[in-house]
Amino acid sequence: MFMRGLKRKCFDGEEDIEGTLAGIKAIPSYNLQRQSLLDMSLVKLQLCHMLVEPNLCRSVLIANTVRQIQEEMTQDGTWQMINTQSTGQASLDRLVSTDILCRSSRDQAEGKHGPAYGTFNKDFESDQAQDSSETMSTASAVQAPRNLQSNVWEMESPQENKGNFQKSLDQIFETLENKSPNTVEDLFSEVDNSYYDLDTMLTGMMSNTKMGHCDSLETFSSPANTASNSNCKSDLNDLDHIVEILVES
């Protein structure tokens, strides 16, 4: 059924969670799936910049989807980075089966699970502790880094969030305008220039503050400035696996 696009693995909640969160068995929660959809959409948007001339209709529809998710996540304030993996394993397949998202909202209300747990494995926490200081410098509020990702989100006000997000969408649409031949370069001008390598591109994207929408992908790195890109990258060695899964490299 799947002819192209990102290969995704079905997240089997039962097997993986059982070890870490004793007793909590869950199929991928709505939040997890929503996150997965967001990630997928962002990758699609980025990928379409690499095409010769992106299909504007498709880009607009994907961007609108991203906006919707962002708005919903901001509104219900339960935005937490989903990472449900046990310690040793790389955090898998955040691109989980998103069947729940296909259900109508009424079905979802019935089937929705509780707020997603947002525990991080120890590795992530140590990475993030290091980066959190940088994160906080950009934020108005300071929160304990236990759930760093949620902090990143919450620290910025919803307005700001939207602002950042908007700005990144702006960049996307500017590139769609094809103002300059090196549109992709412009988009990533503040990112490490090795964007030609898809892995690195996504890694760079994940660690770039300017791209607000990437906050969502920043489970594993801080929204630090580009100067710390290389630092982030080395820290991300553990996480190459995730990137690989994201881009099926």
Contact footprint for another protein (CB under 8 A): 1-6, 8, 34, 37, 40, 52-53, 55-58, 60-61, 63-65, 68-69, 97-99, 101-106, 166, 169-170, 173-174, 176-178, 181-182
**What residue type is 173 in one-letter code?**
F
Residue owning tokens 């120890």: 122
* Residue 17 backbone phi and psi in degrees, to 5: -75, -35
**Minimum distance of another protein from residue 242's CB (angstroms):** 18
Q: How many residues does the chain have?
A: 249
Q: Which is nearer to another protein, 26 or 60 (CB)?
A: 60
**Minimum distance of another protein from residue 20's CB (angstroms):** 26
**Minimum distance of another protein from residue 39's CB (angstroms):** 11
Question: What is the rounded distance in angstroms from the CA atom of residue 26 to the CA atom of residue 100?
Answer: 13
Q: Which is nearer to another protein, 15 or 107 (CB)?
A: 107
DSSP string, 85-144: --SSS----SS---HHHHS-HHHHHHH--SSPP----HHHHHHHHHHHHHHHHT-SS---
**Minimum distance of another protein from residue 117's CB (angstroms):** 22
Q: Which is nearer to another protein, 1 or 144 (CB)?
A: 1
Q: Which is nearer to another protein, 128 or 183 (CB)?
A: 183
